[in-house]
Amino acid sequence: MEATSMEAAEESPSMLWGLDPIFSAFARLYIRDILQMTESMQVPGIYFYNSHPIYKVDILGTVVYKREREDFFCYGVDDGTGVINCLCWKNYLQKGEEALGQSKFASVLIYVPAQGGFNLAAEIKKLREAQKNRCHLEIGELLRVRGPVKTSRQQREITAFVYYKVNDPVMAVQIEWMMEVPRLYRECYDKPLQLRRDAGSDTTISSLSKATNIIKDFLKQKSVSRFRPYDVQDLLQPLISCQPQTWKEKSNPVAGVSGYQQLRQLLKETLEMMQNEGIIYRKVKSQDEVYHVTTQDKDLFIAVKDIIREDSRREKYAEKGCHVLHILSAVRQRYSLNVGKPALELVLKSLECNSDIVSTSDNYYTAF
């Protein structure tokens, strides 16, 4: 299945995405549209539907297949427009009697008589059974899932923040859903994103977005692993040359100097934006201004993979995996102090797509 194509130049700048209220909401989209959304060229993990940036969704559908592992369920959910895989992590209440048995308080809960007529062990057992009934579904049952969209092993899926079985014997929930979602499409999703900006800021943002895309394309086409500012400076010259001159610039005899200053300022802002997005970073900050391309830095990939593999074996991280902030701290200690979280997240996403690591839950990773 091929996603609808969208050129990077057509994307709104990432700094403006927060102005779209849909970006902060769980978008109630049809599964067909979730599968066809195109991924952002600026920030991996962000997708576009009709120019609206989206990264988390809310779906309701019928379970058409299921797989159960020790720590999670995989449910195939069908809403009538398509089928998508939903990764639903278990909590300790869903892992059966062994979860309670492993607790250091298990003997207390089971064998110590409750005082005052309140049996804590019995109440926990009821809670576990209720949780299991809501989260353990069979084929044909109705499931609601809310969570971020991910692309894993070239397949689109949803990692559930919240999921539960919907008891809907008279189809009241489904009827309400079928009336609500088309209304949201008419009033929100199918209306193109329009961001109001003043003319001055519009020109600046447009030039910055174009400059970022020009350098990204150059780095990708040439498979550049590192570069210096003067290596890419000339690429941005057409953006300065095509800008209309003001009356003040036309009357200025040293307009060439002004143009050079504009070029240097545009390059500086572009490199700062690319660093903020994690696309590039400076391994060593010195007078020799060298930028490393994150996705081409094999040494950084090896360092991150080794950290996750080694630390996942430690008892502290064996069950849940390593948190992204722990990984970031370790990378800064062992590899480079200047690696930022956005750059690390790009590396983690690439490693996960290559099946070198797996995310056990939101922001936690472990090695296979």
Q: Does pLDDT of 224 surpass 50? A: yes
**Which pLDDT does position 320 carry in this prediction?**
85
CB atoms within 10 A of CB 22: 19
**Which pLDDT does position 150 carry in this prediction?**
92
pLDDT digits (tens, 9 = 90+) for 60-88: 999 999 998 888 899 999 999 999 999 99
Closest CA to 94 of 73, 76, 75: 73
pLDDT digits (tens, 9 = 90+) for 150-196: 988 889 999 998 898 999 999 999 999 999 999 999 999 998 877 65
Task: Give the pLDDT band (50/70/90) at residue 259.
Answer: confident
Alpha helices in the chain (DSSP H): 31-36, 97-101, 106-111, 120-135, 172-184, 199-222, 229-232, 237-241, 247-250, 255-276, 298-312, 315-318, 324-334, 341-353
Q: Does pLDDT of 43 surpass 90? A: no
Q: Does pLDDT of 14 surpass 50? A: yes
3-class secondary structure, 68: strand
**Which pLDDT does position 79 carry in this prediction?**
95
Q: Does pLDDT of 200 surpass 60? A: no
DSSP string, 157-196: EEE-SEEEE---TT-HHHHHHHHHHHHHIIIIITSPP---
* Radius of gyration (C-alpha) of the chain in whole angstroms: 26
Q: Does pLDDT of 6 surpass 70? A: no
Mean pLDDT of 259-280: 89
Query: For 51, left (φ over 0), alpha (ψ -120 to 50), or beta?
Result: left
**Which pLDDT does position 344 carry in this prediction?**
93
- β-pairing, 155-159 vs 162-165, is unpaired
Task: Give the pLDDT band (50/70/90) at residue 95.
Answer: low
| Distance between CA atoms of residues 295 and 354, nearest Å | 13
What is the pTM assigned to this prediction? 0.49
Closest CA to 63 of 78, 48, 46, 80: 78
Buried residues in 69-88 as b, exposed as e (16+ CB within 10 A): eeebbebbbbbeebbbbbbb
pLDDT digits (tens, 9 = 90+) for 286-344: 888 999 999 999 999 999 999 999 998 888 888 888 999 999 999 999 999 999 999 99
Mean pLDDT of 227-238: 90
Q: Does pLDDT of 129 surpass 70? A: yes
Segment of 18-22, 121-125, 304-308, 352-356 carrying the highest mean pLDDT: 304-308
Closest CA to 148 of 127, 163, 135, 136: 163
Closest CA to 356 of 313, 286, 304, 317: 304
**For residues 72 and 1, which has the higher predicted lDDT (pLDDT)?**
72
Closest CA to 277 of 13, 3, 11: 13
- β-pairing, 357-361 vs 364-367, is antiparallel
| Distance between CA atoms of residues 307 and 299, nearest Å | 12
**Which pLDDT does position 81 carry in this prediction?**
95
